[in-house]
Amino acid sequence: MHDTALTVSVPLTLGVGALALLYFRGWVRKAPAQPHWGWRLVSFLAGLLVLWTAVGSPLSSLDHHLLSFHMLQHVLLINLCAPLLLLGAPFAVLAAAVPREVARRALRGLTSPASRFLTHPCVTWLFAATVVLGWHVPGVLALTLHSPFWHAVQHASFLLAGLLFFWPVVLPWPAAATWPRWALPLYLFLATLPCDVLAAFLAFSGRVVYPHYLEAQAGSSVTALGDQATAGALMWCAVTIGYLLPAVFITLQLLQPRERASPVVAS
């Protein structure tokens, strides 16, 4: 069995802590003008906590022993951490925490043609699907399990995929909508399909797809095939809930009657 000693990622812990302090500084400066933004602070800090728990906490080392935990990491990064960070209005708040020139340059980058292309729903959908399916190719996943560098790249790409995927849904400042709002439920629903295919393959495959976990679980009460089925079921449930809930929320918003301006009565 592989060593599963629980360790803490010091660089990630320090990075998450520094980002939390920087965000809090910006939020304190922004709070007088946005008195109801307390929930954004909670959302952003919760997103950082999820990030640290998934890939920086002592639990993160379990991904070498359990495919189901490896899957849980991916689900947390894409489906929970990313939308929580975006709901925290990170760019609006962090712009208040850094020097004005830095904020202006960042704003130019976020509103550039390249940025608008990268955050177009077609691009974000394809990127997220490619990341999810690509990293679960057996040879590619094996590479990440034996290389700390590629493991870190994998985690970073999952977080980036989640941020880009939920960008058109959350539309954090200074984002501008490129699709009509009614198209987003379909965007979210279609995103479940490639994940469902992968989840079904893992859950119902009659063989262990990733040989690493056969060795990692040798002598354990957990079977590699059962762990693999759990990973597939986890992915199916998490993606279904994580994508369809916002789709339902958006649909309900669209179905609400719009307020009409009261007619002006001449005196």
DSSP string over 42-84: HHHHHHHHHHHHHHTSGGGGGGGT-HHHHHHHHHIIIIIIHHH
Average pLDDT, the chain: 87
Do the beta carbons of residue 63 and residue 73 sit within 8 Å?
A: yes
Per residue in 63-95, pLDDT (tens digit) is 888 899 999 999 999 999 999 999 999 998 999
Per residue in 88-111, pLDDT (tens digit) is 999 989 998 888 888 889 888 888
Picking from 36, 25, 46, 44, the residue whose alpha carbon sits closest to that of residue 86 is 44
The 10 Å CB-count burial string (b at 16+, else e) for 111-136 is eeeeeeeebbbeebbebbbebbeebb
- What pLDDT, on the 0 to 100 scale, is given for residue 2? 44
- Average pLDDT (141-157) is 92
Q: Say if residue 244's pLDDT is above 50.
A: yes
Q: Say if residue 5's pLDDT is above 60.
A: no
Distance CA 167, CA 184 (A): 11
- Average pLDDT (183-210) is 91
Given CA atoms 222, 135, 162, 5 in this order, what sign does their dihedral have? positive
Do the beta carbons of residue 23 and residue 44 sit within 8 Å?
A: yes
Judged by phi (left if over 0) then psi (alpha if -120 to 50, else beta), residue 171 lies in: left
Q: Say if residue 4's pLDDT is above 90.
A: no
Whole-model pTM: value is 0.87
Q: Quote the tokens at residue 239.
A: 């993606």
- What pLDDT, on the 0 to 100 scale, is given for residue 79? 93
Residue whose token pair is 């009509």: 180
Q: Which letter does DSSP use for residue 179 in this model?
A: S
Task: State residue 201 phi and psi, 5-degree precision.
Answer: -60, -45
Length of the chain: 267
- What pLDDT, on the 0 to 100 scale, is given for residue 217? 65
Q: pLDDT-based confidence at 219, cuts 50/70/90? A: low
- What pLDDT, on the 0 to 100 scale, is given for residue 216? 67
Percentage of the chain with pLDDT > 70?
91
| Contacts of residue 30, Cβ cutoff 8 Å, sequence gap at least 6 | 37, 92, 93, 96
Residue whose token pair is 């990268």: 118
